[in-house]
Structure 1
Amino acid sequence: MSRTPQEIFESYVYAGTMSRNADALAENFTADGVLEAPLMPAGAAFPRRLVGREEIRRVMAAYYEQQVKGDRSPNLEKSGYVLHTTSDPDVFIAEIDPVFDGDGDEVAVSLVQIFRIRDGKIARLRDYFAPELMS
């Protein structure tokens, strides 16, 4: 049974941003899946490119163990997103406007993610966000 873009996106966000569960995050990807953050500079704490489910699992587990800037948590009531389907049924785009609470203030962010799906799993995800938010 194939998952919808909505189901894939929500599963990915819950595993990553919400629960910081590297095992669950990695299981959203195909065995040879690619997770890319093309705007990240080399040597940044957040990885620029990971190839394969096991590398995604290992590197993201280490990343989640680190203290994230300001240790902010997402505010679901103030955050929003729109999913855009494309003429290719295996590609969808997420336009995301999350708001994070912490340190006595809130931070609004805008980002775009491009998903390429194979057999209901993420084969390639390009995550475009401002790198300074992850340092």
Structure 2
Amino acid sequence: MSRTPREIFESYLYAGTISRNADALAEQFTEDGVFEAPLMPVGAAFPRRLVGREEIRRAMAAYYARQTGDDRAPNLDKSGYVLHTTLDPDVFIAEIDTVFDGDGRTEEDVAVALVQIFRMRDGKIARLRDYFAPELVS
């Protein structure tokens, strides 16, 4: 039984944003899967383009390790998303509004709007393009 776009998206979200588990995140991708953040500048801490499950695993583990001082987690009650299916059954788009609670230095919540385009193959992510403002992960 193949997974629905919602099941795929929520599994990806839990593996990455919520649990920051690079192994679980990488397993969401095909062996030759591609993860892209096209708006990231070259040389940024957050990877711009990763090719292959193992590169995704290594690079995201390194990125998550650098984030040890950042205890912000998304406030799931304030955050939301809408999934848009397309005529291609292997492609869907996630329109996301994520809210992070104040970081302790300020009381202000931080809202992040982003779009992700998922291209699937055999129930795994073959290509993910993640569009967000680069300064949010500096």
Give 1:72 shift: 1.7
Residue aligned with 2:126, SS: strand
Give 1:2 shift: 1.2
TM-score using structure 1 length: 0.96
The answer to whether residue 137 in structure 2 is matched with residue 127 in structure 1 is: no
**1:23-48 deviation per Cα after TM superposition (whole angstroms, max 9, x unaligned):** 00000000000000000000100000
Runs of 4+ in 1 over 6 A off after TM superposition: none
State which of 85, 106, 111 in structure 1 corresponds to 2:109. 106
Give, as a single letter, the amino acid of the residue that structure 2 aligns with 1:42: V
- Per the alignment, residue 21 of structure 1 pairs with 21
- The equivalences for 1:41-60 within 5 A come to 41-60=41-60
In structure 2, stretches of 5+ residues that fail to align are: none
Q: What RMSD in Å do the two structures reach over aligned CA positions?
A: 1.2
Give 1:106 shift: 1.0
CA gap of 1:46–1:100, structure 2 versus 1, over 3 A, is same
- Per the alignment, residue 6 of structure 2 pairs with 6
- The equivalences for 1:91-102 within 5 A come to 91-101=91-101, 102=103
CA contact (8 A) 1:32 1:123 kept: yes
CA contact (8 A) 1:90 1:116 kept: yes
In structure 1, stretches of 5+ residues that fail to align are: none
> How far apart, CA to CA, are the structure 2 residues paired with 1:87 and 1:118?
15
CA contact (8 A) 1:37 1:49 kept: yes
Give, as a single letter, the amino acid of the residue that structure 2 aligns with 1:130: A
TM-score using structure 2 length: 0.94
> How far apart, CA to CA, are the structure 1 residues paired with 2:109 and 2:71?
12
- Per the alignment, residue 34 of structure 1 pairs with 34
The count of aligned residue pairs is 135
> How far apart, CA to CA, are the structure 2 residues paired with 1:117 and 1:46?
23
Give 1:78 shift: 0.2
Select between 64-73 and 81-90 the one with higher mean Cα deviation: 64-73
- The equivalences for 1:71-82 within 5 A come to 71-82=71-82
